[in-house]
């Protein structure tokens, strides 16, 4: 085993950059994915059948196909030219980000829907009986209560997304797995490069899931008092 | 007819599963009166109450509130709902909001009141229901009786013209029923127009101005408490009252 590349500042910076890109991608995906999911869940709960059907189909198709395949399709669909920002080509990011957003929105929409459905129907009747509109009742009464049910799943989705960002190496996004493969081809330390990547992924996901479990316990306690 | 706050005209309610909850019901709710709806469970009392503010949409028939047909198409129901306070069997306080916020969320959101105005009124109402010291508490820190008193105050915060009570004491432990009935009693004494679905015959006798007896989705008898409780004409009314009094 030869981990000497870890001492080289050049490789250190590659790994750190990769870690940073991975983290930013996962954060963006969970944030935007959840916003999209909220819209999807609202449409799904509405009484307008054709739109409802489209949303259900979208969710099922996205959840039923591998993310790598989605990425490749998205990549060839968009076929973006090189776009330089600060000498940095962002064109591979766009299909990658789209794929992540779409993916996380499909998974989160089910979670959001279940979270909203778990709020007692009486809560919305109480809101409506006070003269609040349907939208006001949703924003002020239902959603704040639903978020409590959604939050734990949101943490899980974040952990999942940290790992799933690795597929973006196929579209040339310099995230962690991509950097590991670069180091591998330069140092020929095949296993070592990926072992380091694995440790770094775990260093992100493990504390995140522990933190979420802690928050969940605290919320339960606050409920019980 | 200016004395009628609500007029129900020949409403029928058939649920999706085919059960007929209301069958050709007509009723007048008179201003400043306490109308009490009684009857065996499953008789349609709660459904009737819920059609008054259209939480339940009647399958046919009309509901007039202060002269407006609530069942007409394109009507802004929210404008009318804010004038009809409702108190539920299950309280339904908003658990994520403090007591004070429970009381002010609707006045601020719907009536666009300033927070100061809403808070001032909320404090007065909390005093009225005897729970001033709870304004910073959250619903899960309150007893059932306290929750229901807060729920009444919350409905009153919108300064409604009529208050609807859907079995307000049915989910309460017996020792907490009194405190809620006291609040309702003082409301009745202030001349609030009230429609109450209840199993509390004591309250009905003492404070009801008009008693409505329902059975199988129909109003089978209505009148003053004296007539209904002392000389009911309908056989099923007699039977129902006998059963209720035996239980008590």
Structure tokens, A212: 């979420």
**Which range, of A1-10, A19-28, A189-198, averages the lowest pLDDT?**
A1-10
Give the strands of the sheet with B34-38, arranged side by side: B84-87, B162-166, B193-197, B34-38, B210-215, B218-223
**Could B92 and A144 be called an inter-chain contact, meaning their C-beta atoms sit closer than 8 Å?**
no
Mean pLDDT confidence for A83-91: 77
The residue of chain A with its CA nearest to that of B107 is: A130
Residue A88 has pLDDT above 80, yes or no: no
Give the residue among B219, B214, B183, B220 at the shortest CA–CA distance from B198. B214
Q: What are the pLDDT digits (tens) for B11-57?
A: 999 999 999 999 999 999 999 999 999 999 999 999 999 999 999 99
Q: Which residues contact B160 (CB under 8 A, 6 or more apart)?
A: B82, B83, B84, B85
Residue A157 has pLDDT above 70, yes or no: yes
Top CATH class, A8-224 = mainly alpha
| C-alpha to C-alpha distances, A70 to A24, A53, A66, A96, B60, nearest whole angstrom | 21, 21, 6, 9, 51
A 131-150 residues with CB below 8 A of B? 131-133, 136, 140-141, 144-145, 148
pLDDT (0 to 100) of residue A123: 97
Q: Whole-angstrom distance between the N-terminal and C-terminal Cα of chain A?
A: 54
Residue B198 has pLDDT above 90, yes or no: yes
In this prediction the ipTM stands at 0.92
pLDDT (0 to 100) of residue A215: 84
Structure tokens, A45: 């709960």
Q: Which of B77, B102, B109 to mutate to test binding with chain A, by most A CBs within 10 Å of its CB?
A: B109
Q: Mean pLDDT: which of A9-23, A153-167, B105-119 is highest?
A: B105-119
List B8's β-bridge partners, or say none.
B27, B63
**Could B79 and A131 be called an inter-chain contact, meaning their C-beta atoms sit closer than 8 Å?**
yes
Mean pLDDT confidence for A176-188: 92
State how far the Cα of B33 lies from the Cα of A98, in Å rounded to an integer.
62
Q: Which residues contact A206 (CB under 8 A, 6 or more apart)?
A: none
**Could A125 and B55 be called an inter-chain contact, meaning their C-beta atoms sit closer than 8 Å?**
yes
The residue of chain B with its CA nearest to that of A121 is: B92
Q: Radius of gyration over alpha carbons of chain A, in Å? A: 21
Question: E strands along B129-180, which residues?
Answer: 162-166
Reported as a pLDDT band with limits 50, 70 and 90, residue A224 is low
**Which range, of A129-143, A166-180, B80-94, B105-119, averages the lowest pLDDT?**
A166-180
pLDDT (0 to 100) of residue A153: 86
**Could A130 and B140 be called an inter-chain contact, meaning their C-beta atoms sit closer than 8 Å?**
no
Mean pLDDT confidence for B224-237: 93
Structure tokens, A36: 């999209």
Q: What are the pLDDT digits (tens) for A96-121?
A: 999 999 999 999 999 999 999 999 99
Residue B219 has pLDDT above 80, yes or no: yes
State how far the Cα of B31 lies from the Cα of B161, in Å rounded to an integer.
9
State how far the Cα of B22 lies from the Cα of B51, in Å rounded to an integer.
10
């Amino acid at each position: 085993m030869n981990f000497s590349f870890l001492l080289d500042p050049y490789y250190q910076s590659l790994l750190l950059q990769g870690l940073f890109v991975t983290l930013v991608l996962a954060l963006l995906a969970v944030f935007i994915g959840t916003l999209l999911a909220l819209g999807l869940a609202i449409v799904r709960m509405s009484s307008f059948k054709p739109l409802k059907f489209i949303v259900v189909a979208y969710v099922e198709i996205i959840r039923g196909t591998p993310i790598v395949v989605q990425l490749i399709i998205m990549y060839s669909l968009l076929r973006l030219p090189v776009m330089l920002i600060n000498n940095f080509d962002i064109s591979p990011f766009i299909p990658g980000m789209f794929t992540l957003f779409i993916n996380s929105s499909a998974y989160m929409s089910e979670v959001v829907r279940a979270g909203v459905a778990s709020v007692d129907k009486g809560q919305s009747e109480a809101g409506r009986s006070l003269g609040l509109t349907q939208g006001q009742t949703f924003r002020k009464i239902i959603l704040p209560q639903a978020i409590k049910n959604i939050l734990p799943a949101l943490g899980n989705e974040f952990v999942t997304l940290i790992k799933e960002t690795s597929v973006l190496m196929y579209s040339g996004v310099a995230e962690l797995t991509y950097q590991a493969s670069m180091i591998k081809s330069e140092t020929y330390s095949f296993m070592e490069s990926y072992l380091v990547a694995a440790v770094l992924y775990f260093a992100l996901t493990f504390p995140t899931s522990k933190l979420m479990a802690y928050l969940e316990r605290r919320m339960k306690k606050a409920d019980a008092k | 007819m200016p004395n009628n706050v609500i007029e129900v005209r020949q409403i029928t309610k058939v649920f999706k599963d085919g059960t007929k909850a209301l069958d050709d019901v007509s009723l007048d709710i008179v201003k400043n009166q306490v109308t009490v709806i009684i009857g065996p469970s499953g008789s349609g009392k709660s459904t009737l109450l819920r059609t008054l503010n259209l939480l339940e949409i009647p399958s046919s028939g009309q509901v007039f509130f202060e002269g407006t047909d609530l069942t007409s198409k394109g009507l802004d129901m929210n404008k009318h709902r804010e004038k009809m306070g409702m108190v539920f069997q299950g309280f339904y306080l908003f658990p994520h909001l403090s007591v004070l916020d429970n009381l002010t969320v609707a006045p601020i959101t719907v009536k666009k009141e300033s927070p100061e105005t809403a808070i001032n009124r909320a404090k007065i109402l909390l005093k009225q229901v005897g729970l001033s010291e709870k304004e910073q508490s959250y619903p899960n820190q309150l007893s059932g009786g306290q929750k229901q008193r807060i729920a009444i105050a919350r409905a009153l915060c919108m300064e409604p013209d009529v208050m609807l009570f859907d079995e307000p004491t049915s989910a309460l432990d017996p020792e907490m029923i009194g405190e809620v009935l006291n609040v309702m009693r003082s409301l009745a004494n202030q001349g609030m127009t009230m429609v109450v679905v209840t199993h509390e015959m004591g309250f009905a006798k003492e404070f009801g101005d008009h008693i409505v007896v329902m059975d199988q989705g129909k109003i089978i008898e209505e009148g003053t408490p004296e007539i209904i409780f002392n000389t009911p004409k309908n056989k099923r009314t007699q039977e129902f009252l006998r059963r209720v009094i035996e239980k008590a």
